[in-house]
Amino acid sequence: MSSGTGGGMDERCTGVVERVVFHSQESGFTVLRVRIDECSDPVTVTGVLPVVSEGESVDGRGSWVHDRRYGLQFQTVELAVVPPATEEGIERYLASGMVRGIGSHFARTLVRAFGPEVFSVIEKDPERMLELPGIGKKRMQMVVEAWDEQKAVRDIMVFLQSHGVGTARAVRIYKTYGDQAIQIVSRNPYRLVLDIQGIGFRTADAIASTLGIEPNSLVRAQAGIRHVLVELSGDGHCAIRRPELLSAALRLLGIGEEIISEALKEEIIRGAIVQEEIDGSECCFPANLFRAESTVASRIASLCGGKLPWGDVDADDAIAWVGTSTGLELSPSQASAVQTAVASKVLVITGGPGVGKTTLVNSILSILKREDIKVALCAPTGRAAKRLSESTGMDASTIHRLLEFDPCSFDFKHNRTNPVRADLVVVDEASMIDIVLMQKLLLAVPDDAALIIVGDVDQLPSVGPGSVLSDIITSGAVPVVRLTEIFRQAEASRIIVNAHRINRGELPVNPESTETSDFYLVPASGPADIFSKVMQLVLERIPAKFAMDPVRDIQVLTPMNKGGLGTLALNSALQKALNPSSKDGISRFGTMFAQGDKVIQQVNNYDKEVFNGDIGMISSLDADGKKLTVLFGSNTIDYEFGELDELSLAYATTIHKSQGSEYPAVIIPLSMQHLMLLQRNLLYTAVTRGRRLVMVIAESNAVLKAVRNGSAGGRLTNLAERLRAEFR
């Protein structure tokens, strides 16, 4: 390996990555510690890479500079991952996770025994490995099989790495495209954005540039427009106004407006984008979200028609029966809601904590079960489904499990032609359901079945696009029961009382100084003070005073991922403090994973049946087998190291990710650093996640800002109007 140390921008630095200090998924900016021949200690190299892992070889062009804060470093203008060319590089490459069955120890043994010929030995004469101590036939066979799997990948990897794609992504690209990978990527690298988890527009654009695709090409402009729409749907919108779409694409692509307009026209002609007027403005929908909204509206209208599955029920008699046979005492508002429920084929029940939603649902189910109907209960997350099951005493499942995902068709088994077998479908935590999932659910509800939608409309809307619960209520198309009365037993909880105060735009109140409470507002002077108090509460004060486990029972909920009070910084500090094994873990995609870590699933994985927001614990880590195992409740899920971009640490999560979950104790850091996110529904959602204890650690101005900011900046959708049109 070599490096230059002159003064121009054409110096080169080539070496093996010892540690990924920092890597931004968004921008690709990377800080590496790289071992080169000329230096006894690793050197710092900075530059832009889509993906990089420890053990890979990199080659950079740039110059050596002395940063006043970070010291000597090699700043690159071009940085790429390259195939290993030395024994050290080969050893690190073998130990990097590419070949199952080869860990760091075995990689060292192989390279010492066979030197640069090690690849040839594994491929052509693998039985020579049996000469090595500790290598049996089982280990040899594992390595050979894993190596055979890589045969077709190698040329593809060299091609992709030469265009800035790292090992893990290269494997995923091969699994998606097979032997056609090079051909597909060369023809249109922007397909990667649609087909490959973890590859965004900027990465595909960088690959396109190295392949010689012109900046003003139509294919690039079309990809840029799609990217803008995807980004907007990531913010919850189902559509974007046409002028805003053109303007955003212009900023992203830096090309002429006429090319962007032509690209938009082509996307509309081929049906990928649908134009529709909303409130007098021409808007553009991704076709899938347009179809989802249209389907949800038409299915709700269809379900509202027809006879009730349970026939005529005498509501007054049923309410009296509930009181005598189940012991459930209904308030006047709940009794009125029961009357509405037994007369409605589609019903929405909404309200905050402590207002009796559970009692109402149980009363309705008790009444309707007398009519011998089949009920299906579901919720968006496993935790929410478990709570629904516990509160009703009936089986409940996630929506995904109810619909039964089929990995062969990559769709749900239950659909319009194969509906679920139920006379009544009850879906809880509906504020979490995005427009696409609601579309899939409603397609699977039989025409002659009834539907009850339960949720708290004042919570944050879904992580995915749409404002489904809010739009259904706003449309006025179906009956809505809104419970507001806080019941006496709930008034004893300061969590519930303060949640309702926040929802009304009032500041939460603290207990008297001598009073033990389930809610505390802890003042802090600034971000550093907040950080210190969060750490002290997690590590010392809550475990000591409330006998709670700092990992299992305490959840830190923060508004954002970045910054000193974001999930990244908090997770790093909490991991070091709470998991001594973290120093022996493995680093992938910029995160250190170790046995005992609390982790969260970042995307829906239908094959593994784990979904966005599921939290689990790493139960084992197999460095040789290149996999780790996560326990999600009672389900054990294996991840290959190349799949670990699906996971992140979960000692701290965003408030958005906490939707549908409850935790024994919740700590909420709030700072003016979070200014753009400080909204009433954000704080309300966070507070209502705590079951036994909530602590808000905050600057006073931050709490005041959040409570007063009741305008959450609505999402651009058209579901409410579609529903009104269906019922005209």
Supply the angle between the helices 137-162 and 167-177 in degrees, to the nearest 10: 90
CA distance 407 to 604: 13
Supply the angle between the helices 494-503 and 680-687 in degrees, to the nearest 10: 170
pLDDT of residue 146: 77
Query: At 6, is the pLDDT very low, low, confident or very high (cuts 50, 70, 90)?
Result: very low
Q: Among the listed ranges 24-38, 432-446, 543-557, 575-589, which one has the minimum average pLDDT value?
A: 24-38
> Residues at the annotated binding site for ATP?
354-358
CA distance 193 to 195: 6
Query: At 152, is the pLDDT very low, low, confident or very high (cuts 50, 70, 90)?
Result: low
Query: At 674, is the pLDDT very low, low, confident or very high (cuts 50, 70, 90)?
Result: confident
Query: At 5, is the pLDDT very low, low, confident or very high (cuts 50, 70, 90)?
Result: very low
pLDDT of residue 161: 64
pLDDT of residue 597: 94
> Residues at the annotated binding site?
354-358
Max CA distance (Å), the chain? 91
Tell me the one-letter amino acid at 162: S
pLDDT of residue 2: 42
CA distance 533 to 676: 23
pLDDT tens across 352-401, in order?
A: 888 888 889 989 998 898 888 999 999 998 888 888 999 899 999 999 99
Tell me the one-letter amino acid at 389: S
Tokens for 513, please give them: 């100084």
Ordered by start, the domain boundaries in the chain are: 11-156, 176-283, 291-489, 506-708
Inter-residue contact 590 to 23 (CB < 8 Å):
yes
pLDDT of residue 50: 59
Q: What is the mean pLDDT of the chain?
A: 87
From residue 662, give the alpha-carbon distance in Å to each of 239, 567, 586.
32, 18, 30
pLDDT of residue 3: 43
Asked whether residue 538 carries a pLDDT value surpassing 90, the answer given is yes
Q: List, in sequence order, the alpha helices (H) in 494-641.
A: 494-503, 527-536, 542-546, 567-578
Summarize the confidence of residues 227-231 as an average pLDDT: 89
Backbone phi, then psi, for 181, in 5-degree steps?
-55, -50
Asked whether residue 712 carries a pLDDT value surpassing 80, the answer given is no
Summarize the confidence of residues 717-728 as an average pLDDT: 94
Q: Quick one: CATH architecture of 176-283?
A: Orthogonal Bundle (1.10)
pLDDT tens across 114-146, in order?
A: 988 888 888 889 899 998 887 888 888 888 887
Summarize the confidence of residues 545-568 as an average pLDDT: 92
Q: Are strands 450-455 and 627-632 parallel, antiparallel or unpaired?
A: unpaired
* N- to C-terminal Cα separation, the chain: 74
pLDDT of residue 410: 76
Asked whether residue 1 carries a pLDDT value surpassing 60, the answer given is no
In a 3-state reduction of DSSP, which class is residue 60? strand
- Tell which wins on pLDDT, 402 or 180: 402
Question: Which CATH superfamily does the domain covering 291-489 fall into?
Answer: P-loop containing nucleotide triphosphate hydrolases (3.40.50.300)
- Tell which wins on pLDDT, 99 or 668: 668
Summarize the confidence of residues 324-349 as an average pLDDT: 87
Summarize the confidence of residues 508-533 as an average pLDDT: 88
Number of residues written out for the chain: 728
CATH of domain 11-156: 2.40.50.140
Asked whether residue 198 carries a pLDDT value surpassing 80, the answer given is no
In the chain, what percentage of residues exceed pLDDT 70? 93
Q: How far is CA 531 from the centre of its chain?
A: 24
Q: Is the dihedral of CA 671, 675, 680, 681 positive or negative?
A: negative
Summarize the confidence of residues 138-164 as an average pLDDT: 73
CATH of domain 506-708: 3.40.50.300
Tokens for 614, please give them: 């599921």
Query: H/E/C letters for each residue in 283-305?
Result: EEEEHHHHHHHHHHHHHHHHHHC
Which residues are CB-neighbours of 219 under 8 A, at least 6 positions away? 188, 190, 213
Tokens for 306, please give them: 């027809």
Q: Which of 394, 397, 392 is nearest to 380 (CA)?
A: 397
Asked whether residue 27 carries a pLDDT value surpassing 60, the answer given is no
Q: Is the dihedral of CA 333, 336, 341, 347 positive or negative?
A: negative
Query: At 334, is the pLDDT very low, low, confident or very high (cuts 50, 70, 90)?
Result: confident
Give the pTM.
0.75
Q: Among the listed ranges 9-13, 44-48, 358-362, 422-426, which one has the minimum average pLDDT value?
A: 9-13
Query: At 167, is the pLDDT very low, low, confident or very high (cuts 50, 70, 90)?
Result: low
Q: In DSSP terms, which residues pair with 378 in a beta bridge?
A: 397, 427
Buried b / exposed e along 161-194 (16+ C-beta atoms within 10 A): bebbbbbbbbbbbbeebeeebbebbeebbbbbbe
Asked whether residue 170 carries a pLDDT value surpassing 60, the answer given is yes
Q: How many other β-carbons are positioned within 10 Å of the β-carbon of residue 337?
A: 26
Asked whether residue 506 carries a pLDDT value surpassing 50, the answer given is yes
pLDDT of residue 488: 62
In a 3-state reduction of DSSP, which class is residue 352? coil
